[in-house]
Structure 1
Amino acid sequence: MELLGGRTAADFLRDYWQKKPLVIRQAFPDFQCPVSADELAGLACEEGVESRLVIEKDDGKPWQMHNGPFSAERFSELPEHDWTLLVQGLDHWVPEIADLLEHFRFVPNWRLDDIMASYAPKGGSVGPHFDQYDVFLLQAEGHRRWTFGGHCDHTSPRVEGTPLRILSSWEGEETVTLAPGDMLYLPPGVGHHGVAEDDCITLSIGFRAPTVDDLLTGFTDFLCSQSDAGDHLNDPDLQVQDNPGTIAPGVIDRLEAVIHRKLSDRRQLSLWFGQYATAPKSMDIVVPSDEPIAPEVLRDLIQEGAQLRWNEGSRFAWYDLGEESALFVDGEQYLLKGDAKPLAPLICAGARIDMEALAALAGDPAISGLLSHLYNHGSVYFE
């Protein structure tokens, strides 16, 4: 309740989620940022880390963006103010940042995108803009002044001459300054503009929502990969037509029946979506273990109380199929039956798995085999 300004998660979801902004003072009291500006700059020099520099006035051009990785010398060439460093997926690389996500489990795992860090000296900003996703903006260090409000969409006027979607004639409705531990929630489509008042770091906890185009394309591609996708449309009751150029209503009826049958297969839809929704954002961090572990060794470590946790870049979800539980990890599916069914909700509940509950299940060879597979694949590790 402290995280949401004294509101319960249910109250927040009912009154604010995808409805209106919310300023939460001291959502994280006495917050200390787990990373420094220098460490963010170091990450931005690494291959495999998505990073960007946004400079407000770059050779006379407005709001120019440069993609990393950067050289260390690049940072010494920057102006004293009016620029921003963005490091995407910071939770994938810093376990202490990933731990922040445990406070946001009132939103389903599959909706989570990642945590982005924004460092800026005084005056630094990425310009007035809007996003198509929900975001919590946690002030981690320094102070940032936010102006926000008003609904924006693809028709909103933009600044020309920049690769960024900067709003050109937007005026916000409210202005606040956030100190460390303060947080601002913004629904999709709400215009906002944050400006650093001193050297500051802001952490953006972003939540994704797939587009209808992504859903249709992804599911139909999945259906086309099934073994019966090569079957032909047949017409054993074909009859002579008055005009051979006519597409008879019966043809459309058969097409509709085929497509409806495929699209109404709830099991197929749930299995596809679980894989789709848990596909890792970065395959650079979900890599096989250097030292594979045997099921019996993993079982013994669990019985001894070793703490198992998710890889910071992994995604976990599950779906109840009735007699089976479908576990989805990093784009793969695992169907669990009988005594193994409880493993799915247990392992998906949070990044640090309840080891006492897991120890009660790990004696099953099938379960210890699956857990060792996830370990060897790089989806979990011992802390």
Structure 2
Amino acid sequence: MSSDTPLQLLGGLSATEFLRDIWQQRPLLIRGAFPDFECPLDPDELAGLACEDGVEARLVEEHGEDGPWQVRHGPFDEAVFGELPERDWTLLVQAVDHYVPEVAELLEAFTFLPRWRLDDIMISYAPPGGSVGPHMDQYDVFLLQGMGRRRWQLGGKVADEAPIIPGIDLRILERFEVTPGDDWVLEPGDMLYLPPGWAHHGVSQSDDCLTLSVGFRAPSADEAITSFADYLGEQLPASLRYADAGMAPPDDPSELDDAAVARMRRLILETLDDPARLAQWFGRAMTQPKYVDQLVPREQPTAPAELVAELQAGGELVRCRGSRFAWRALDGERATLFADGDGVTCALPLARALASDAALDAEALALPGAAELLAALLDAGSLSWADE
């Protein structure tokens, strides 16, 4: 589909129009974004997932036994859910797309955005009155109503330093005023897009209210600078140091003068301003898996010849649900394939094929270097056999 083709998902806007006029600028309510939507899992299945080891889950009670806005972290015992009140609580489960293939399939609707920007699909369940309080998030999110009805109220864009309620394990805003007109009840299939920093408050209006949150991540400046500096530190030679050849004798040997500061500044800026190294770091940073323990390396290395035989016999390799892939062209023939925080140089067509959603079967072997790279990704845990 062309980027200029109107999408029902975006309320009739084309992808180009949405990215130009809405994305990271203002909210957008989309009625019937997913017509006749059927939620890919039910509340009992979500609760069951929250009881499993390794799954990130939270239980938020507005009126908990230990005080207001009590937060408990999973995994939970099934008995917990039978002890909860009839209203005013919320269960949140992160990265449901990593565990439920039918949830992961929803991501196909969001291919108008870079795949490496995706964080995960969180799903929340709430009985009547369930909420996590008025708050803001520092990421883009599409809030898709999956089951029941939820009322969303918006309070406009708020400053990073907006006061929050102290002493609780949630970043609930102390003050929240609803913007006139930004007050809606969403039905199944309706969706609300929110850019970063927009205050919002969602409250369940009915039994069995499920909301799917498709979130997109962006590293903060402090995270990016720290991570890039660490990456550079591993790449730079020890001989690259502060130097002051040709300097004038100091008026005072104890003074840290402007010339010395300028030399240090020049060293740092020239070291940082390296587009090739920045791209290599960025690809690795944006493909870091959300949960590293989801990648299980193989105990025994895979021989490329064995992998070839398996593929030719009808086997198929799939990307592990927690894995992230991206690619960047180096020239007309070569590219860096980024996979789960690592990067490897390979043929450009191979990088594009591995980073796409296309099936990895015997046809992939026609690409130069495929057998060796597929074996390495299989051993790293980024790929697995479809029948495993």
CA distance in 2, matches of 1:225, 1:152: 38
Corresponding residue SS for 1:203: strand
Q: Aligned pair 1:347/2:354, yes or no?
A: yes
Mean Cα deviation higher: 326-335 or 177-186: 177-186
CA distance in 2, matches of 1:176, 1:260: 49
Q: Which runs of 5+ in 2 are unaligned?
A: 1-6
Superposed CA RMSD: 2.3
Q: Which amino acid aligns with 2:91?
A: L
Corresponding residue SS for 1:225: helix
Q: Aligned pair 1:142/2:148, yes or no?
A: yes
Corresponding residue SS for 1:362: helix
Q: Which runs of 5+ in 1 are unaligned?
A: none
Query: In the alignment, what sits opposite 1:36?
Result: 42
Q: Aligned pair 1:244/2:247, yes or no?
A: no
Corresponding residue SS for 2:102: helix
Counterparts of residues 83-102 of structure 1 (less than 5 Å): 83-102=89-108
Counterparts of residues 171-190 of structure 1 (less than 5 Å): 171-173=177-179, 174-190=182-198
User: Contact 1:49/1:87 (CA < 8 Å) preserved in 2?
Assistant: yes
User: Contact 1:62/1:161 (CA < 8 Å) preserved in 2?
Assistant: no
Corresponding residue SS for 1:136: strand
Instruction: Give the one of 323, 328, 332 matched to 1:314.
Output: 323
Corresponding residue SS for 1:96: helix
Query: In the alignment, what sits opposite 2:171?
Result: 165
Query: In the alignment, what sits opposite 2:376?
Result: 373
Query: In the alignment, what sits opposite 1:258?
Result: 267
User: Contact 1:267/1:321 (CA < 8 Å) preserved in 2?
Assistant: no
Corresponding residue SS for 1:243: coil
Counterparts of residues 322-337 of structure 1 (less than 5 Å): 322=331, 324-336=334-346
- Going from structure 1 to structure 2, the CA distance change for 1:326 and 1:167 (only over 3 Å counts) comes to same
CA distance in 2, matches of 1:61, 1:366: 59
User: Contact 1:309/1:353 (CA < 8 Å) preserved in 2?
Assistant: no
Deviation at 1:226, TM superposition (A): 2.4
Deviation at 1:251, TM superposition (A): 2.8
Q: Which amino acid aligns with 1:98?
A: A
Deviation at 1:273, TM superposition (A): 1.1
Q: Aligned pair 1:113/2:119, yes or no?
A: yes
- Going from structure 1 to structure 2, the CA distance change for 1:17 and 1:366 (only over 3 Å counts) comes to same
Mean Cα deviation higher: 221-230 or 17-26: 221-230
User: Contact 2:139/2:215 (CA < 8 Å) preserved in 1?
Assistant: yes
Deviation at 1:211, TM superposition (A): 0.7
- Going from structure 1 to structure 2, the CA distance change for 1:301 and 1:180 (only over 3 Å counts) comes to farther
- Going from structure 1 to structure 2, the CA distance change for 1:155 and 1:255 (only over 3 Å counts) comes to closer
Counterparts of residues 289-300 of structure 1 (less than 5 Å): 289=298, 293-300=302-309
Mean Cα deviation higher: 290-299 or 86-95: 290-299
User: Contact 1:61/1:162 (CA < 8 Å) preserved in 2?
Assistant: no
User: Contact 2:318/2:359 (CA < 8 Å) preserved in 1?
Assistant: no
Q: Which amino acid aligns with 2:355?
A: C
CA offsets 1:280-305 (integer angstroms, 9 cap, x no match): 01012111247864423433554566
Q: Which amino acid aligns with 2:227?
A: G
User: Contact 1:92/1:285 (CA < 8 Å) preserved in 2?
Assistant: no
CA distance in 2, matches of 1:374, 1:297: 14
CA distance in 2, matches of 1:157, 1:240: 52
Q: Aligned pair 1:154/2:163, yes or no?
A: no
User: Contact 2:163/2:173 (CA < 8 Å) preserved in 1?
Assistant: yes
User: Contact 1:135/1:187 (CA < 8 Å) preserved in 2?
Assistant: yes
Between the aligned residues of both structures, percent identity stands at 49
CA distance in 2, matches of 1:55, 1:167: 17
Q: Which amino acid aligns with 1:158?
A: I
CA distance in 1, matches of 2:40, 2:303: 34
Query: In the alignment, what sits opposite 2:3?
Result: none
CA distance in 2, matches of 1:79, 1:333: 49
- Going from structure 1 to structure 2, the CA distance change for 1:6 and 1:239 (only over 3 Å counts) comes to closer
Query: In the alignment, what sits opposite 1:216?
Result: 225
Corresponding residue SS for 1:127: coil
Deviation at 1:216, TM superposition (A): 0.8
- Going from structure 1 to structure 2, the CA distance change for 1:301 and 1:32 (only over 3 Å counts) comes to farther
CA offsets 1:2-33 (integer angstroms, 9 cap, x no match): 21122211111112111111111222222222
Instruction: Give the one of 18, 22, 25 matched to 1:19.
Output: 25
The normalised TM-score by structure 1 is: 0.91
CA offsets 1:40-80 (integer angstroms, 9 cap, x no match): 11221222111100001113722121111111221122111
Q: Which amino acid aligns with 1:182?
A: D
Corresponding residue SS for 1:216: helix
Q: Which amino acid aligns with 1:183?
A: M
User: Contact 1:148/1:175 (CA < 8 Å) preserved in 2?
Assistant: yes
Deviation at 1:322, TM superposition (A): 2.1
Corresponding residue SS for 1:194: strand
Corresponding residue SS for 2:292: coil
Corresponding residue SS for 2:213: strand
- Going from structure 1 to structure 2, the CA distance change for 1:151 and 1:92 (only over 3 Å counts) comes to same
CA distance in 2, matches of 1:345, 1:380: 15
Deviation at 1:270, TM superposition (A): 0.9
Q: Which amino acid aligns with 1:179?
A: E
Corresponding residue SS for 2:174: coil
CA distance in 1, matches of 2:30, 2:385: 35
